[in-house]
Amino acid sequence: MSDHWYKDAIFYEVYVRGFFDSNGDGRGDLPGLIAKLDYLVELGVDCIWLLPTYPSPRKDDGYDVSDFVGVHPEYGTLADFDRLIAEAHHRGLKVIGDLVLNHCSSEHPWFLSARSDPASPYRDYFVWSDDATQYKDARVIFSDTERSNWTYDAVSGRHYWHRFYAHQPDLNFDNPKVQDEMMGVADFWLRRGLDGFRCDAVPYLFEREGTSCESLPETHAFVKRLRAHIDANFTGRILIAEANQWPEDLVPYFDGEFQMAFHFPLMPRMFMALRQETKKPIVEILQRTPQIQDGCQWGLFLRNHDELTLEMVTDAERDYLYEEYAKDPQMRLNAGIRRRLSPLLGGSRRRVELLHGLLLSLPGSPFLYYGDELGMGDNVYLGDRDGVRTPMQWSSDVNAGFSRAEPAKLYSPVSMDAVYNYQSINVEVQNRSEASLLRWVRRMIRARKTTRAFGRGALAFVETENERVLAFVRTYEKEEVLVVANLSRFVQPASLAMGVHAGKRPREIVGEAVFPVLTERYFLSLGPHAFYWFRLETPT
């Protein structure tokens, strides 16, 4: 693979705790993940992203780190971690970790020392205040739980700053020691062979009065240092930004900092386009998305381990999406919706396929969320975001084949939902059934890999004379792909303005069927929620 391997890669987000339990204690672990690597290879995945595996009191499911250079004992040992990387690399799989830069757990030894002793060398690792009046313009992110970004600490008699839960004190990046410390953490894992990081909560590293305390110049300067350091010491390693920001505000992050950033604004607009049956939201946000440099790439996703965040939409759009996708208040969390893909789409196979069709063909590299390839359901009666983190459904065996533990001992109940229960939705059953979603996803991933235009190509929209039909051409070197997608639940006509492509011959990528040669206005009819990928060939 080239240095730009991530541009052609399919990413798969793994929640280690929920993937496979190797020792029967009811929680997934690293040896369990190793045992399932072949499954991921067969699916066609190129890179796995591990959710945090650090020691942690787990009040934010591992994003509350109490030791940045260790492995949570439930997950295994550093030796297991090394073995995971070796086994993955042996199979041609890359592995990235989650680098939690912004904060640590209030149980991290740094914070324990800092709060209890004014002379502690770690005192200045955190952001303190006597009156909690600073940085009023910074919004509260976990708005359902936290009232303020300051919390009074009775031990030190001062307030400390936190952008997330109160048990996650922000690290003070104004302290050069903190910066060095976190560069050392990156080194530690890259030396063990990790292929890069998804960098958590990137915009919030610095605070400055009178600003939103997001994406400040100081934050960019630090990331540039981190990237330069990594590039100087390692090869082919990547940094991916979790920065929930508008596309234009993400551009600086690509400038000598991250190779990739998630496209947060596109994601809710795919759900909007589907519900409103119009391509407008998708076209508008992509037209608003600036060109990024050659070595850079968008990360595309439909769902992840968090709530489906609605921060990057207007108030009216948010109301609309809540109304359409989360009628039950139980489904809402902070500014988002805590549901999985399949239930969000009413269990509609056609809609699930259509959104995957877009995920795999729009500009960027796709990130799949574990279990969504099966159409797994959620459990909105579990707290926080736990409902989208239930055990992976491997088979109809006890505990969905995830664990040999007493069912009561599992970290989370398996799905017993009438529609999404593990007896009917699981890997074993879907491997057996030719028509399963799993086998369909596998085929589409294979199909995507037949051309590099999807990962690397330029994008040009094609006029269709029908706002319900989205069409675009992706072009990379000599390869051209035409994508046509019907966002409506009814059959639709489309008249494609093919312009310079007239005279080329479309060959459908999955089934290889050859279509009539393109004319300047090319007529196509599309079934409900249908989408097609055509390779454009020049007839000889």
Q: Is 242 a catalytic residue?
A: yes
Spot the catalytic one: 21, 29, 200, 207: 200
Which of 7, 17, 27, 159 lies at the binding interface for Ca ion (CB under 5 A)? Answer: 27
Is residue 164 a contact residue for ligand GLC (CB under 6 A)?
yes
**Residue 200 binds: one of Ca ion, ligand GLC, none (C-beta under 5 to 8 A by kind):** ligand GLC
Cα–Cα distances in angstroms (integers) from residue 152 to residues 52, 134, 149, in the given order: 27, 14, 10
Give 27 or 159: the residue with its C-beta nearer to Ca ion: 27
Is residue 21 a contact residue for Ca ion (CB under 5 A)?
yes
Amino acid at the residue 352 = V
**Residue 8 binds: one of Ca ion, ligand GLC, none (C-beta under 5 to 8 A by kind):** none
Give 59 or 409: the residue with its C-beta nearer to ligand GLC: 59
> For residue 90, how far is the Cα from the chain centroid?
25
Give 25 or 324: the residue with its C-beta nearer to Ca ion: 25
Q: 176: exposed, middle or buried (C-beta count within 10 Å: 0-12, 13-18, 19+)? A: exposed
Is residue 201 a contact residue for ligand GLC (CB under 6 A)?
yes
Is residue 253 a contact residue for ligand GLC (CB under 6 A)?
no
Cα–Cα distances in angstroms (integers) from residue 216 to residues 208, 246, 385, 525, in the given order: 8, 14, 29, 49
Q: Angle at the Cα of 287 (from 285 to 291), degrees rounded to 5?
A: 110
| 3-state helix vs strand vs coil in the chain, percent to 5 | 30, 20, 50
- CA–CA dist 184, 69 (Å, integer): 9
Spot the catalytic one: 29, 242, 306, 384: 242
Residues 336-395 that bind ligand GLC (CB under 6 A): none
Is residue 63 a contact residue for ligand GLC (CB under 6 A)?
yes
- CA–CA dist 445, 14 (Å, integer): 18
Closest distance of CB 105 from ligand GLC, Å: 10
Q: How many CB atoms lie within 10 A of CB 283?
A: 16
Is residue 13 a contact residue for ligand GLC (CB under 6 A)?
no
**Residue 306 binds: one of ligand GLC, Ca ion, none (C-beta under 5 to 8 A by kind):** ligand GLC
Cα atoms found within 13 Å of the Cα of residue 48, Cβ hemisphere only: 28
Give 141 or 470: the residue with its C-beta nearer to ligand GLC: 141
Q: Taking phi first (over 0 means left), then psi (-120 to 50 degrees means alpha), and beta for anything else, what does residue 82 get?
A: alpha
Q: In the beta sheet, which residues pair with residue 240?
A: 198, 260
Closest distance of CB 61 from ligand GLC, Å: 7
Is residue 60 a contact residue for Ca ion (CB under 5 A)?
no
Is residue 29 a contact residue for Ca ion (CB under 5 A)?
yes
- CA–CA dist 447, 350 (Å, integer): 18
Q: Is 434 a catalytic residue?
A: no
Closest distance of CB 63 from ligand GLC, Å: 3
Which of 23, 113, 431, 450 lies at the binding interface for Ca ion (CB under 5 A)? Answer: 23
Residues 92-111 that bind ligand GLC (CB under 6 A): 100
Write out the catalytic residue numbers: 200, 242
Query: Where on the chain is the footprint of ligand GLC (CB under 6 A)?
Result: 60, 63, 100, 164, 200-201, 242, 305-306
